[in-house]
Amino acid sequence: MSVGTTPGGTTPAATIPAGTTPESERDAEFQEHEKILSPDFLSAAQITEMLAEDIDGVQQKLKKFLNFKNLNTCLKEAILLDYYVSGFLWARGMEFSVIQYSKFMTLLDMLLHNLRTLHMSLEDSIKWLGEVMAETGPSHSQKNEESNVFNIKQANAVIDYLKISLFQHYKLYEFLFYSTREEIVIGTEKSTAVCHCPQNQFCNFQEFRFHEKPQKPRGPRAVPGKERQDSF
């Protein structure tokens, strides 16, 4: 009879595999955590290359990585290149680490993938972002603190950036992906569309923001002679 079994069934006696340590459990959690935004949109080597470039260099590198060959004639390629270049340059201003660059750029790409391939609505994209940020953002659990990709300030900044860069222009991106090339060209010749998204679409953003742990309020410090002075 094997350990942890009884006649007629098994018991939960051996719930922890032999040789399991707290360190190995954290490693397993970290590996699971790394799957949240995988596979990476850009490799560490590609990110390192672009970090050494100026704005034009970043654009040329991303053009090559994305295999865009018709920028002069394809409006869709031009818009998408601007989307990724702008995101990378914003991340540079945040002074992200290479792994943070990697996860952020993958997040940008997956949001477009959800829109383009899964036809995900604006509301569903916001919900999806909230779920992802809950996994990659800061956690109040000290157990998962080491596996956080972004701290509180960075996570909130990412959310704010995506709101103004993608979500406020969501209808335009839907038009970009779901319309024919001729419709896109005609539409841009007629006018420049401005998307005014309903306010209630963004009210849930407050639920996804991260906050510092509240500190216990401290009482006023006693000042020697204060009571004696106030009594006069």
How do residues 98-144 score in pLDDT, each as one tens digit?
Answer: 999 999 999 999 999 999 999 999 999 999 999 898 887 776 454 45
Residue 21: C-alpha distances to residues 18, 25, 28, 78, 144 (Å): 9, 6, 11, 51, 16
How many Å apart are CA 72 and CA 30, to the nearest integer? 43
Sign of the alpha-carbon dihedral angle for 222, 227, 228, 232: positive
User: 210 with 138: CB under 8 angstroms?
Assistant: yes
Pair 83, 58: CB distance under 8 Å: no
Q: Report the pLDDT value the prediction gives residue 128, as an integer from 0 to 100.
A: 94
Interval 128-184: pLDDT, tens: 999 898 887 776 454 455 557 898 899 999 999 999 999 999 999 999 998 775 555
For the chain, the domains span 38-211
DSSP for residue 216: P
Distance CA 17, CA 211 (A): 37
pTM (predicted TM-score): 0.67
Kindly state the helix (H) or strand (E) to which residue 41 belongs, with its residue range. none
In contact, 197 and 165? CB cutoff 8 Å: no
